[in-house]
Amino acid sequence: MEFIDYYNILEIQKTSTEADIKAAYRKLARKYHPDLNPNDENAKKKFQQINEANEVLSDPEKRKKYDKYGKDWKHADEFEKANQQQSQSRTSGGGQQSYGSSGGDFSGDFSEFFESMYGSGARTKQTKFRGQDLNAELHLNLMDVYKTQQQTLTVNGKNIRLTIPAGVENGQVIKIAGHGTPGANGGPNGDLYITFTIASHPKFKREGSNLYATVDLDLYTALLGGDLQVDTLDGKVKLKVAPETQSNTKVKLKGKGFPVYKKEGEFGDLYITYNVKLPTNLTEKEKELFTELSKLRANGN
C-alpha cells in the first residue's frame, strides 16, 4: 500500500495543533461532503480520505505512531514488541531471531519486519470505512400526521418509502438505518436521519397529544345557553352551552385531541375556550331593548 500523506490531505503542517487539525477537517469535510457533491466520485474519494486522515491525526497516540512508522503505523506495537524481544535475546546470547513464515532475519527495519510477519500482500489491505450519515427535513402539515401514512422521499438520488406514524411531533428525528452514503472498502452504509417540520394549523394549537382552540360565542347563546357546533380534526361535534357562560370559559372534549405517538387508538383531548362576541351595528329597536335591560338590572329586577 503506497504512503498517504495525511497532513497533505488536510492541508496542514506536521507541526499543526489539535485545534488546527479540527478546523481543517471541518472546512474540508463541508467542501467535499457527498450531499453537496452528488454523483461526484472524485469528491466522494476525497471525502473518504479526509475522514481517514482526521481519524488518525486527531488521535494523539495514532498520530505519534503515524509520524514514526508511516503507512504501517497500525503494526507499530507489534514491531516494537518484536524489536524488544530481539534485543533481549541478543543480550542473553541467544543469537538473532527470525519472524514470520519467511524465516528471514529481522534486523530492526520496520518495513522488513512488516513483510516478514504478514507477507507483502498484507500491505495492500484497505481499511473499511463506514459511510456517512445523511440528514433530511420533511415538511408536513398537522393533518398529514393525524393518521399513519406512507410517503416516498428522494434522498441522495434514491427513493425511500417511509411509513410516518400518526402523532409525530414537530422537530422529531427518526433514523432509517443503512440509508446513508455507501461504506468504503466493504464498510457498512451510514444512516439517514429525518427531521419532521410540522406547520402550524390555522384553528388548532398542538401541545403533545392535546389540542387547543378558541371558539366565538354570540352574546345571546352565552346568556341563555343553547347548542353550538364546533370543528375538530375528525369532523364537527355539537356542544351544549350552559346559560350565562362567561368569556374565556374552557371546556374539554375528551379524546378529541391528537393521536398519541405509536399508541394505536389513543388520543389526547381538545380544549375549547369560548370568546363571547358582543353584537355590533345595533338597530334602534335593539338599543331600546338593551337600554330597558340595563334599567331592569339597575333596579334589581
Q: Is the pLDDT of residue 140 over 60?
A: yes
Distances (CA, A) of 64 to 13, 57, 59, 73, 80: 14, 8, 9, 9, 14
Lowest mean pLDDT among 45-49, 116-120, 206-210, 290-294: 116-120
Q: Of how many residues is the chain composed? A: 301
Distances (CA, A) of 112 to 5, 11, 62, 94, 286: 21, 31, 21, 21, 108
User: Which CATH number do you get for residue 150?
Assistant: 2.60.260.20
Tell me, yes or no, whether 19 lies in a domain: yes
Q: Domain range holding 172?
A: 134-198
Q: Which residues contact 287 (CB under 8 A, 6 or more apart)?
A: none
Tell me how crowded residue 125 is: count the other CB atoms within 10 A of its CB: 11
Look at residues 203, 211, 224 and name the one whose alpha carbon lies nearest to residue 253. Answer: 211
Return the H-helix or E-strand segment holding 22. Answer: helix 18-32
Identify the domain boundary among 124, 151, 175: 124
Same domain, 58 and 151: no
Task: Name the H helices within 102-175.
Answer: 110-118
Same domain, 10 and 112: yes
Domain count of the fold of the chain: 3
If pLDDT is split at 50, 70 and 90, which confidence band does 108 have? very low
Tell me, yes or no, whether 186 lies in a domain: yes
Tell me, yes or no, whether 183 lies in a domain: yes
Identify the domain boundary among 91, 124, 157: 124
Q: pLDDT tens digits, residue range 41-80?
A: 888 888 888 888 898 898 898 898 888 877 677 777 776 6
Same domain, 25 and 42: yes
First to last CA, the chain: 103
Same domain, 258 and 291: yes
Same domain, 81 and 20: yes
Computed over its alpha carbons, how large is the radius of gyration of the chain? Answer: 36
User: Which CATH number do you get for residue 57?
Assistant: 1.10.287.110
Task: Name the H helices within 119-155.
Answer: none
Same domain, 24 and 98: yes
Same domain, 181 and 225: no
Identify the domain boundary among 90, 105, 124: 124
Tell me, yes or no, whether 1 lies in a domain: no
Please tell me which residue, 2 or 157, carries the higher pLDDT value: 157
Q: pLDDT tens digits, residue range 13-48?
A: 989 999 999 999 888 988 888 778 878 888 888 888
Tell me, yes or no, whether 129 lies in a domain: no
> What 3-state DSSP class applies to 259?
strand
Same domain, 209 and 113: no
